[in-house]
A and B are shown apart, each in its own frame.
Chain A
């Protein structure tokens, strides 16, 4: 793999026009990645699902170079019709279209910036890989006091041309004071056996609001990793929702740094898995100053041969008095072969805080099934109703009514 990496790295540098300085930076990240390799179960964060093993089991001859010179055809049938929206379209990792037609062009800046650093300071070799190999790096700046009129949907599409590839995407978002953005990540794949590595960096200034919805619904055999780093200043709000279902492997990491007073972070997630899927959500909320809040709710419904893992960490600095931190994860195991793992972690250095976490897992409640069946539903209907009720709880947390409706329809709660 090492040789392959070096060859592919050079190929990428040849076709891109990075400055020498950038190439040097990228090289150092590449070397760091080569030294550490893909993370494995020996690392605490990868204890439950070992990406190194999963990649080597699923993808033979992983290659890191993609030819971005050819344009891909966009199939408009994939677009979400029910909602007017701005678009960014990625096909096989190539940016095909950036469309902010609903917005005031003066208020949004799209900077094609190759400036490469890792501000998250995460000891994460996948981020190293991302920085080393991502070919383009966009930064989207939303100016002061501007709220996007329509949501932005980022389509992550792939077609059958791509196989055994590694794709690295990087986007930065800068939300200036009192601005707001609704962002939907929509995944749809026609390819299989690829490893996609997505890294978003959000910077929220005072009073900014970010709502990010990640929807991985369509069934596919790709492996995905997504890392969101969110830095929040005073009074800012971030809301992240993850619907994790379609891919063979998907790990979502969300890292929130609450750096300003009265900032808050909400993370809600659903795992709805079947047929050998292995998904994970890992969150880290760093409460660094006074009066910050975080809420997390993660629910899993697990079918045959599936595995879900939730690792949630709440860190409260000694300066962060009056912190509220809540965390709840629940799972329903439907089959003997399903498995749920959780590690809800609290690390607290301040005394005037309210923090709690809870975790529960088990099978569907027999009494409830009996109750519904005695009212005339058959077993399948009763089961479906209970599962929907269980998951709806999470969907109801979504604060944007329009998007909530869209999601309900998409997931099948509403016709």
Chain B
């Protein structure tokens, strides 16, 4: 058995599908002011934070769930969810890893994310989020030397209230859309990153999200601030146990890049996609938005979306600063009954702003995949440019691939170019590969990896290898 086959053997079933048997503290079921107060209280939040939540909740009551998206889903009963769930042992936050519940450590080891620093691949600091709380953050000492703040959101609210107060909700306001507002009201944990002026973050920062408890929704909030002239590369990974029910994951991610700063945000999303009949799986309704606030700033999103029953997200860039750059690289793969509606928004407000969108969609089985994007060039955004390319690959005639780009150009100095193609893997390509001795599945794997190459190249090394494997595995069984 070669390594690829072994990988496939290991991953035939969703290998992250186990549950950790651990005692939890949960908020009372349902969504109301008391639950929000409970969350705020258990996290010992200051009053301004509670006010922020309650304000969002007031607003939330007025909002209607959107229904314009392509993948339809059964109505979610927001009163039938737990909005907070945390391992009991986390109630008083352990001071070090030695105090951490061994079960948690074991969970992360099983997921391939050992939290002990000596066991880690060098050069990546991890913030591990388990259900509603951050359980551990590694390499803190090393980062503190550079003045970098990398901690859980709850900790940041306690220790760096000025920064949080200044930036939280400035990119995704509490008055935003339905799910973002819900998140603002009930968010539990997530990561907070602050890179001080002129610092180039010496290692990759990453968060690993794990949903464990059942009937819970996961609502994290991540905030990354890159101060003037700084650089950070941030990775995000996600998994969840296999369950017949659908679970909601509605996160908010805000990025802020000041003058000359650069943020690179990579996601490998591998939530449980449901079984082959489309039962169970995660609803991944995430709001991600970056603000290029300063001059010459840059935000780059890279995503590999292979999991989730429904993915519904549009990582976006608001290009406010002059000469700022926004990039979006995406691979989305849907198989079986998975559905995805994903893409990006590039809002050009400043002069000389540039954006680039490369999106690759692959659908197989009975799945449905939509690229939806907006390129909006404001009348003040002189001399801006955008290039968009979105390609879709279809495997079989039971699946769908859709492209819905919106293009608004209000500036005559700016150029917008958009290209999209949809096709299947050509017989010639397959024939050529098979003639060279590859079996059909290997041939498809090779062609698909070639199709995705432009995006895979954007990922940090360790992730790229992982993602490449994931691409092959997600499509297992779709050939023929």
Contact = CB atoms under 8 A, between A and B. Distances in A.
Contacts of B405: 342-345, 359
Contacts, number: 116
A332 B255 CA distance: 34
A349 interface: yes
Given A350-B397, A359-B418, A363-B412, 18 more contacts: A44-B68, A321-B397, A331-B409, A335-B412, A340-B407, A340-B409, A341-B409, A343-B405, A344-B405, A345-B404, A349-B397, A349-B399, A349-B400, A352-B397, A356-B419, A356-B421, A361-B407, A361-B409
Contacts of A340: 407-409
B325 interface: no
* Residue with the highest number of chain A CB atoms closer than 10 Å, among B68, B400, B407: B407
B23 to A, nearest CB: 48
A125 to B, nearest CB: 19
Interface of B: 68, 379, 392, 394-424
Contact of A338 (B394, B412, B418): B412
Contacts of A335: 412
Given A44-B68, A351-B397, A360-B416, A342 B422 contact: no
Interface string A317-345: 01001000000000101111111111111
Contacts of B419: 356-358
Given A44-B68, A351-B395, A351-B424, A344 B418 contact: yes
Interface residues of A, number: 35
A335 B410 CA distance: 10
B397 A358 contact: no
Contact of B392 (A44, A348, A352, A363): A348
A336 B406 CA distance: 20
B420 A346 contact: yes
A362 B421 contact: no
B356 to A, nearest CB: 15
Given A335-B412, A336-B412, A359 B407 contact: yes
Contacts of B423: 353-355
A287 to B, nearest CB: 12
The DSSP consensus for interface residues of chain B is: strand
B415 A361 contact: yes
B407 A341 contact: yes
Contacts of B401: 346, 348
A109 interface: no
Interface of A: 44, 318, 321, 331, 333-363
Contacts of A333: 409, 411-412
18 contacts: A321-B397, A333-B409, A336-B413, A337-B379, A340-B407, A342-B407, A343-B405, A345-B402, A347-B400, A348-B394, A351-B424, A353-B424, A355-B422, A356-B422, A357-B419, A357-B420, A359-B417, A362-B416
Nearest to A310: B407
Contact of A334 (B392, B402, B412, B414): B412
B424 A343 contact: no
A348 B397 CA distance: 9
A346 B397 contact: no
Nearest to A325: B422
A336 B418 contact: no
A331 B414 CA distance: 11
A242 to B, nearest CB: 20
Given A336-B379, A348-B400, A351-B396, A359 B416 contact: yes
Given A341-B409, A343-B404, A360-B415, A352 B420 contact: no
B422 A362 contact: no
A261 to B, nearest CB: 17
A192 to B, nearest CB: 28
A310 B416 CA distance: 14
B261 to A, nearest CB: 29
Contacts of B404: 343, 345-346
A362 B414 CA distance: 5
Contacts of A334: 412
* Residue with the highest number of chain B CB atoms closer than 10 Å, among A351, A358, A362: A351
A328 B414 CA distance: 19
A118 to B, nearest CB: 25
Nearest to A355: B422
A343 B410 CA distance: 15
Contacts of B409: 331, 333, 339-341, 361-362
A349 B402 CA distance: 8
Contacts of A341: 406-409
A318 B416 CA distance: 32
A362 B420 contact: no
Given A318-B398, A348-B402, A362 B407 contact: no
Contacts of A347: 400, 402
Contact of B420 (A331, A339, A344): A344
Nearest 5 pairs between A and B by C-beta?
A333-B412, A362-B415, A351-B394, A359-B418, A342-B407
Given A339-B410, A343-B405, A355 B399 contact: no
B422 A346 contact: yes
